[in-house]
Amino acid sequence: MLEISLFSILSLFMLGGSIAIITNKQTVFSVFGFLIVMIGFAGMYALLDNRFLALAQIMVSVGAVVVLSMLAVLSVNAKEKNLPNESDKYKWIIFSSILVLPFSYLIYQTLSSYAKSFADAGFSSKAIGAELFNSWILPFEIVSILLLCAMLGAIVIARKDEKTHPSKEQL
């Protein structure tokens, strides 16, 4: 009973954070919604009694990805007047949610059938973690550097330089 109530609470937090990501005009608040979703995922892993994934979720997603996203958002400094006017945003959210529901159900059915076969084959989070940090550490680090470079490139591209793009007041 306690597990079901904790699962429900975490699910509501994750759903609320997801809605906050989509609906907020200010990107800073969207990043806070993303933070709530990532903490909810860590809570879900903890409910599954998988401490390694819960701590990895907190350290990697919350500690690195959210902080890096916040840095990128604050560096770009999007203003309210530059944001698009999205009058039909909520209609599109509902339409896309209805469109994605059957696919989500199919993915759920597929993954739940595979979970038993993985458990029977002897896969555990300890074995996956050992393999990840022994054999796949170099590709993991290369991807993290690539993501950092992509984020910095997005900041440079999105940033308005006063010298190359004069404002209307300067003209």
CATH at 32: 1.20.120.1200
Residue identified by tokens 């919604």 is 33
Rounded to two decimals, the pTM is: 0.55
C-alpha distances in angstroms, 30 versus 14, 63, 72, 96, 115?
13, 16, 13, 19, 33
Tell whether 166 is covered by a domain: no
pLDDT per residue as tens digits for the range 65-101: 888 888 777 777 666 666 667 778 788 888 888 998 9
Structure tokens at 142: 């290369």
Q: How many independent structural domains does the chain possess?
A: 1
What residues make up the domain containing 62?
A: 2-78+124-158
Tell whether 88 is covered by a domain: no
Tell whether 91 is covered by a domain: no
